[in-house]
Amino acid sequence: MIFGYARVSTQDQNLQLQVDQLEKYGCDEIYQEKITTRKKERPELERMLSKLRPGDQVVCYKLDRISRSTKHLIELSERFENEGVQFVSIQDNIDTTTPMGRFFFRVMASISELERDIVSERTRSGLESARKRGRNGGRPPVQNTKIEKALKLYNSKDYSIKEIVEMTGVSQATLYRRINQAKEKDTPNQ
């Protein structure tokens, strides 16, 4: 059986690209999660892992979608090997059915972690430098009046999201977040 695993880090992100690629690959079952890799508990990954049998295959879109770190990735690969399960990373062109695939898998995992660490270090350095100059970073908060105006325009159903963003200066992400919050308030608990 071919199991697919797709993950994004936040609720606002979309899994569809990964799911499309997993379906195209021919996955029989696809497990989807919206959770950060910083969290150790990932229920869908655990559910998938509990179903694995010798001869099965695990497919993910990219290495960083399935693992928290190089160590975790290597632990997963060892588990797959011990259980007779093959692993494929579509975007990274890794297929552990071959010796070169197994070697490349370990090298790519190390490079992927190094890249994340470098980006993280640069971000921390940049934020620290900005703080020393009196800047805290991030977008300035949007005035509530702008958000209220954007919501009124949205509720009028006369304007597209793009038009509302252009007229009010409220970002699309902020607008959608506030629309969803309003819907949640209007929906009674069941």
pLDDT tens track for 135-147: 876 666 778 888 8
pLDDT at 105 over 80: no
Query: Rounded to an integer, what distance in angstroms lies between the CA atom of residue 57 and that of residue 80?
Result: 9
Query: Rounded to an integer, what distance in angstroms lies between the CA atom of residue 16 and that of residue 101?
Result: 26
- Which residues are registered as beta bridge partners of 8? 34
Tell if the pTM clears 0.85, that is, is over it: no
pLDDT at 61: 95
Which helix or strand (DSSP H or E) is residue 60 part of? strand 57-60
67 is catalytic: no
pLDDT at 183 over 90: no
Mean pLDDT of the chain: 86
Q: Which two tokens stand for residue 46?
A: 């655990």
Contacts of 23 (CB under 8 A, 6+ apart): 4, 30
Q: Which of 9, 77, 129, 156 is catalytic?
A: 9
pLDDT at 54 over 90: yes
Report the first-to-last Cα separation within the chain, whole angstroms: 37
